[in-house]
Amino acid sequence: MQKKDIIARAAIAFTAAEIQAGNGERIDFAKVVKRAEALYARLKSHGYGAPEPTGPRKPGKHYDKLEGQSRQWFDELWEAYDHKKGRDGAALSWLKLGDINEVLARTIIEAAHRDAREPRDPGTPRKMLQGWLTERRWQDHAATPAATGRRKAQEDHKKLGDILGEIATLETLVAHAPNDQLQAKLDDYRAQRDRLQGAKETTDGAG
């Protein structure tokens, strides 16, 4: 049985238990899934499931491809962003930007400084530099309508992803254990999904 099947069955069992206990209205499906994932992790730690390959990972070589001024700018960016994880992946994203001039390099580095200083809620994970570069997040720090629009689109995209995840979980639960309360929640999430997708289509059409 695959990991996703084990977690899905555990989530269904936990949800059914909550419903039987009269807590159907207060079910937090994100917490149910996390509880199922924690159970899977505990089972795995006791020897259940296929063993994962061990041994040292082969180091990446993308950073070694950086030369001269490009490497100097990247090193400055790495220090400015101040999130020391995934340097080689970040170097790959930097390489994919192609030949950049000093103006753009300084713009990116300054944006990384500002991003590093932004207040964040405790426990909120920070995006690694590789993703930050790939998504051109430095553009978010420019005070322009276009940047504001990009940030709003990114927030909506994330929210839509969360909603789609909830829908997938609820659809699995409803398929295995039909329930009016679960169906009502599913319908609500589907309505939220439709609104977000409709707004995205309108924005795309306007562009």
Question: What dihedral angle (degrees, nearest 10) is formed by the CA atoms of 74, 149, 196, 175?
Answer: 10
pLDDT-based confidence at residue 206 (cuts at 50, 70, 90): low
**CA angle 191–162–35, rounded 5-degree value:** 115
Determine contact, residues 48/2, Cβ cutoff 8 Å. Answer: no
Concatenating the DSSP letter of every residue in the chain gives --HHHHHHHHHHHHHHHHHHTT-GGG--HHHHHHHHHHHHHHHHHTT-SPPPP-SPPPPP-TGGG--HHHHHHHHHHHHHH---S-HHHHHHHHHHT-S--HHHHHHHHHHHHHHHHS---TTPPPPPHHHHHHTTGGGGGS-SHHHHHHHHHHHHHHHHHHHHHHHHHHHHHHHHS--HHHHHHHHHHHHHHHHHHHHHHHHHHH-
pLDDT at 7 exceeding the cut of 60: yes
> Domain boundary at 18, 36, 55, which?
55
Residues 136 and 75 in one domain: yes
Residues 158 and 134 in one domain: no
pLDDT at 190 exceeding the cut of 90: yes
pLDDT-based confidence at residue 142 (cuts at 50, 70, 90): low
Residues 125 and 158 in one domain: no
- Domain assignment of residue 104, given as a range: 63-142
pLDDT number for residue 179: 86
Higher pLDDT, 66 or 8: 66
Residue for token digits 């970040």? 90
Q: What integer best gives the mean pLDDT of the chain? A: 81
How many angstroms separate the CA atoms of 179 and 16, rounded?
10
Residues 163 and 95 in one domain: no
Higher pLDDT, 5 or 58: 5
> Domain boundary at 117, 142, 167, which?
142
Residues 138 and 148 in one domain: no
Least confident range of 135-144, 146-155, 170-179: 146-155
Give burial (CB, 10 Å; 0-12/13-18/19+) of 60.
middle
pLDDT-based confidence at residue 155 (cuts at 50, 70, 90): confident
Residues 207 and 154 in one domain: yes
Residues 136 and 156 in one domain: no
**CA angle 97–102–104, rounded 5-degree value:** 50
Residues 178 and 199 in one domain: yes
Tens of pLDDT, residue by residue over 51-101, are 555 555 455 689 999 999 999 999 999 999 999 999 999 999 999 999 889
| Domain count along the chain | 3
> Domain boundary at 39, 55, 71, which?
55
Tens of pLDDT, residue by residue over 31-57, are 777 887 887 777 776 666 555 555 554
Higher pLDDT, 129 or 161: 129
Residues 93 and 29 in one domain: no
Please state the pTM of the whole predicted model. 0.43
pLDDT at 207 exceeding the cut of 70: no
pLDDT number for residue 37: 80
Integer-rounded Cα Rg, in Å, for the chain is 22
How many angstroms separate the CA atoms of 75 and 67, rounded?
11
